[in-house]
């Protein structure tokens, strides 16, 4: 008995490709559960049709050969389970989601899949200060400049500020603690993201604690480092910023400054005109991945998550 293969049928022979693509487009903005309920289909059927749609997207829009890449890791679940994500920062689309952890070997898988010739075309790699990523890149794309992601650097500074907050809370006694307790989000958030009550709490906190006030001002001013167009100017700013830590009794800030010193070349690389890239895309893309993970909560199919991530920036078909 022979079975005729018809081009207009989906992988599931009960549905046409046109219907499969309709289901896939609906799943771009709704969960599998909601689409299944809307179309009166089985949950597994909707998932299978969406996966077919996403594979068709990748076939129509194959990964480009990148010149500027962003490298980061994504936590799948508790227990230090990570996967590597690589994005094209010029075209603003993800290129790779995989590996077994956030090791050098996992990032090597991206470069191996890209090929030696295409890897040799990469001129800039944006990453956090994770040694494994840098080692893999210097090995597979030695011509690429390394640029440390601004948002990862500032995250370390936020952690240093939070250590000051915790030490001040431990040092304070009685009623003086009430200005610090429960104000972690207020202190670490950007002022423009705070509500009117949050800004009032911040002003009251900084007025009551001189050391936190100093630490907060130092944190706010440090972002100026990425505004310079010449490395010499950036270096002068950093040296002055570090000198201002003297006699302030902020050990976590001193450690942060030492870390910046060790990684200076990868931070100062942003001063060069050819390295002016949209650093916010990496952080925004990470937030998008977290939304996809929440929508797929309880779904253990890593291949499905990989397809969702690789196609989330692609046009609909």
pLDDT per residue rounded down to tens, the chain (317 residues):
454 444 544 566 678 888 989 999 999 988 899 999 999 999 999 999 999 999 999 999 999 999 999 999 888 877 678 899 999 999 999 999 999 999 999 999 999 999 999 999 999 999 999 999 999 999 999 999 999 999 899 999 999 999 998 888 888 777 767 777 777 888 888 777 777 888 887 888 788 888 888 998 999 999 999 999 999 999 999 999 999 999 888 999 999 999 999 999 999 999 988 888 877 777 777 778 877 777 665 557 889 989 999 998 999 98
Instruction: Give the residue among 140, 149, 132, 93 at the shortest CA–CA distance from 113.
Output: 140
- Residue 106, in any domain of the structure: yes
pLDDT of residue 314: 93
Helices (H), 148-195: 150-171, 184-188
- Residue 316, in any domain of the structure: no
Number of domains in the chain: 3
- Residue 292, in any domain of the structure: yes
47 and 119 assigned to the same domain: no
C-alpha 80: how far from its chain's center? 16
Kindly report the pTM of this predicted structure: 0.82
CATH number, residue 125: 3.30.420.10
Kindly write down the DSSP assignment for every residue of 239-288, as one continuous string. Answer: HHHHHTTTTS--HHHHHHHHHHHHTHHHHHGGGSGGG---THHHHHHHHH
Q: Are 55 and 310 in contact (CB under 8 A)?
A: no
196 and 253 assigned to the same domain: yes
- Residue 251, in any domain of the structure: yes
244 and 175 assigned to the same domain: yes
pLDDT of residue 6: 43
155 and 269 assigned to the same domain: yes
72 and 31 assigned to the same domain: no
- Residue 180, in any domain of the structure: yes
- Residue 85, in any domain of the structure: yes
Report the length, in residues, of the chain.
317
SS3 call for 95? strand
238 and 157 assigned to the same domain: yes
Distance CA 252, CA 249 (A): 9
Distance CA 7, CA 11 (A): 10
120 and 100 assigned to the same domain: yes
193 and 50 assigned to the same domain: no
258 and 181 assigned to the same domain: yes
123 and 262 assigned to the same domain: no
Question: How many other CB atoms are there within 10 angstroms of residue 30's CB atom?
Answer: 15
87 and 145 assigned to the same domain: yes
- Residue 4, in any domain of the structure: no
> Across the strands, what pairs with 298?
none
- Residue 294, in any domain of the structure: yes
197 and 116 assigned to the same domain: no
- For residue 227, the enclosing domain spans 151-273
């Amino acid at each position: 008995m022979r079975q005729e293969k018809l081009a207009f049928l989906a992988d599931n022979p009960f549905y046409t490709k046109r219907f499969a693509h309709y289901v896939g487009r609906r799943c771009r903005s709704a969960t599998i559960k909601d689409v299944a309920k809307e179309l009166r289909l089985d949950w597994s059927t909707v998932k299978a049709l969406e996966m077919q749609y996403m594979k068709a997207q990748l076939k129509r829009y194959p990964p480009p050969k990148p010149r500027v890449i962003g490298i980061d890791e994504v936590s799948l679940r508790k227990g230090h389970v990570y996967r590597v994500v690589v994005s094209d920062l010029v075209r603003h689309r993800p290129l790779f989601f995989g590996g077994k952890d956030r090791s050098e070997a996992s990032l090597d898988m991206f470069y191996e899949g890209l090929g030696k010739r295409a890897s040799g075309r990469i001129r800039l790699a944006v990453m956090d200060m994770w040694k494994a990523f840098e080692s893999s890149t210097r090995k597979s794309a030695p011509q690429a400049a390394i640029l440390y992601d601004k948002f990862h650097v500032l995250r370390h500074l936020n952690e240093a500020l939070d250590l000051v907050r915790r030490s001040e809370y431990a040092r304070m006694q009685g009623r003086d603690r009430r200005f610090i307790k429960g104000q972690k989000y207020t202190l670490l958030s950007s002022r423009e993201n705070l509500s009117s009550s949050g800004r009032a709490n911040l002003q009251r906190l900084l007025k009551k604690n001189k050391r936190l006030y100093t630490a907060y001002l130092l944190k706010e001013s440090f972002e100026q480092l990425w505004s310079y167009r010449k490395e010499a100017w950036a270096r002068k700013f950093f040296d002055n910023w570090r000198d201002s830590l003297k006699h302030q009794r902020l050990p976590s800030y001193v450690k942060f400054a030492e870390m910046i010193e060790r990684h200076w070349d990868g931070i100062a690389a942003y001063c060069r005109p050819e390295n002016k890239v949209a650093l916010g895309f990496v952080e925004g893309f990470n937030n998008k991945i977290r939304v996809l993970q929440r929508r797929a909560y309880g779904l253990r199919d890593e291949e499905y998550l990989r397809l969702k991530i690789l196609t989330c920036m692609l046009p609909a078909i």
